[in-house]
Amino acid sequence: MTLPALVTGASRGLGAALAEALAPTHPVVAVARTIGALEELDDRIKAAGGSATLAPMDIREDGAMRQLCRSIHDRWGGLALWIHAAIHATALTPTPQIRANDMDASIAVNVTATARLTAYVAPLLGSEGRAVFFDDPKGGAAFHGAYGATKAAQIALARSWREETRKIGPTVLILEPRPMATATRARFHPGEDRVALARPADEAARLLPELIG
């Protein structure tokens, strides 16, 4: 039996594109808050002959994440892949004007939820699975204070885990996608010529060989 791929942040952008790319070879567990976007993803996966299990939930909810991981264990016994594409991207703002609720949400999604999920997912991956994170080095960039700081913290967690598991597994990958025409990038670069940007589907196809080895 092929073990599934868990994709957190699967409703749009690179997360959705990777869920579609993996579906022909893996059962996909797709996690996101937006139910409508998950259903559209499910339609595309089914149309291509794949299968997906939709998990419309917020990764900040500890009980929901515990239950999801327990359900994965009970149904499949483990995971082949964890693709962590979930991110909270606040609007660009000068550092002294970062709102407390924006900073709190950034920490909750980008740092706290990542650390908690790592603890829950690691046993499901065992020694043979792969965990995949996506770097976006904005730390220190003007107006990116909340996003840059918390994204850097997320990747620091991933790097530590990667060093800890080099000899024993699971394999931890940290990839840096090319600039893509996503909603997140549009928030950071309004008015940018999106024609020159990569499509998430094309970037997913480029990255796929690295994900599955």
Could you list the residue range(s) of the whole structural domain that residue 187 is in? 5-199
pLDDT at position 87, please?
94
Asked whether residue 204 is assigned to any structural domain, the reply reads no
182: left (phi over 0), alpha (psi -120 to 50) or beta: beta
Asked whether residue 206 is assigned to any structural domain, the reply reads no
Number of domains in the chain: 1
Q: What is the pLDDT of residues 100-150, one digit of tens each?
A: 999 999 999 999 999 999 999 999 999 999 999 999 988 889 999 999 999
DSSP 171-208: EEEEE-PPPB--HHHHHHSTT--GGGSBPHHHHHHHHH
pLDDT at position 143, please?
93
- CA–CA distance, 212 with 98 (Å, rounded to integer): 39
Asked if residue 168 has pLDDT above 90, the reply is yes
Asked if residue 97 has pLDDT above 90, the reply is yes
CATH number for position 11: 3.40.50.720
DSSP 27-96: -EEEEES-HHHHHHHHHHHHHTT--EEEEE--TT-HHHHHHHHHHHHHHHSS-SEEEE-----PPPB-GG
pLDDT at position 40, please?
96
Task: Give pTM, 2 decimals.
Answer: 0.95
Which class for 87: exposed (0-12), middle (13-18), buried (19 or more C-beta within 10 A)?
Answer: buried
Asked whether residue 37 is assigned to any structural domain, the reply reads yes
